[in-house]
Amino acid sequence: MTGKATERVYRVFLCVMKIVLTAVAAGCAHRLYAPLQQDGWSAQPIGVERRFTSDADLDPATKTPVGDEGYYLYILNEHANWDYSSAASLVFTIWMRPWAHSWLILESPRDRLEFGHTGDLGITTPRYHEGVFQKIKERDANPIAYLWQTMADGQFQTGKPNRPPTFVWRMPITRRHHQLIHDYVMQRKYDQFGLRSNNCTNLVVKTAALAGINLIHRIRLTLPQETKVLGRMRRIWTDPQYRILEYGTPEVLDADLRQLARLGIGSDVTEWYLALK
């Protein structure tokens, strides 16, 4: 197959994935997509240009990842069922369920390391959702600008967090990729934490890319200037630089991982993980 033909096939695949992501979202109670609405709101998951990196180890026949015996990468995901169908519904569902998380297990025949990147702990500064609500109550001109801040409370999470995942995905990897991932994880800086980058989802996606696969995880929001918060219309932004917000979220990542498992790329091992002592 020529390069141009391959590119066309992949573009078709991306179109199908966008449709599937919307369908999966509806089936899993996620609502990840919203067309442009009268108030200016829209939500659109952001695709990837290539599913596999040039460094990926794939089976020649099935074009699915392969690895060495006993070497695996696990992605553990806890979504929060945020509703992106409107600005008001997103605000409400974040207020009701403000926490979501993604983390990893790196496994070899010798050991299994479970880890992630945590932050936004709310100890020295308000957490992201609390800071935005606080600025809305203070009638700040750009309360959403709080999401552009970088927190200084990032931490390297080791072991199981204090809540179970809603989905666990496993992919075989090679010994070489295992070493690449281990080196990256040990050298990475964890003290900074941000909504738009340098967070739990960002760590997961960068690690997965080292294993040879690109994951759909980001969403693009177009924000209205005003929306209903706690029953009243409130100003969200005045400065147009805050009209567009793009970030990685476990909600989009969850839909992508579930679809990959359905396609035979990696596998669903949620029950296995939840049964571990």
Give the model confidence (pLDDT) of 134-165 as tens digits.
Answer: 999 999 999 999 999 999 999 999 999 988 99
Cα separations in angstroms, 23 against 28, 33, 35, 75, 215: 9, 10, 15, 22, 18
User: What is the pLDDT averaged over residues 1-24?
Assistant: 45
Pairing between β-strand 155-158 and β-strand 218-222 as defined by DSSP bridges: unpaired
- pLDDT at 236 (0 to 100): 95
Centre a 10 Å sphere on the Cβ of residue 9 and count the other Cβ atoms it contains.
11
- Of 275, 272, 210, 221, the closest CA to residue 251 belongs to 221
Q: Phi/psi at 247 (nearest 5 deg)?
A: -160, 160
200-210 helix and 175-187 helix, angle to the nearest 10 degrees = 150
Q: Answer whether 85's CB lies under 8 Å from 37's CB.
A: no
Q: Phi/psi at 70 (nearest 5 deg)?
A: 85, 0
Average the pLDDT over each of 15-24, 40-49, 50-59, 230-239 and give the range with the smallest value: 15-24
C-alpha span between 198 and 117 (Å, rounded): 8
Total-model pTM: 0.88
First and final CA of the chain: distance in angstroms?
A: 48
- pLDDT at 31 (0 to 100): 82
Whether the pLDDT of residue 186 is over 60: the answer is yes
Q: Answer whether 214's CB lies under 8 Å from 34's CB.
A: no
C-alpha span between 74 and 107 (Å, rounded): 8
Domain boundaries, the chain: 3-274
- pLDDT at 211 (0 to 100): 98
pLDDT confidence band for 30 (50 / 70 / 90): low
User: What is the pLDDT averaged over residues 55-84?
Assistant: 96
Please count the residues of the chain: 277
pLDDT digits (tens, 9 = 90+) for 208-254: 999 999 999 999 999 999 998 878 899 999 999 999 999 999 999 99
Q: Is 206 helix (H, G, I), strand (E, B) or coil?
A: helix
- pLDDT at 192 (0 to 100): 96
Helices (H), the chain: 3-27, 87-96, 128-137, 175-187, 200-210, 250-262, 270-274
C-alpha span between 87 and 128 (Å, rounded): 16
User: What is the pLDDT averaged over residues 1-8?
Assistant: 47
Q: Which residue has the higher pLDDT, 235 or 3?
A: 235
Q: Answer whether 85's CB lies under 8 Å from 34's CB.
A: yes
- pLDDT at 98 (0 to 100): 87
- pLDDT at 181 (0 to 100): 98
Whether the pLDDT of residue 18 is over 50: the answer is no
Whether the pLDDT of residue 24 is over 70: the answer is no
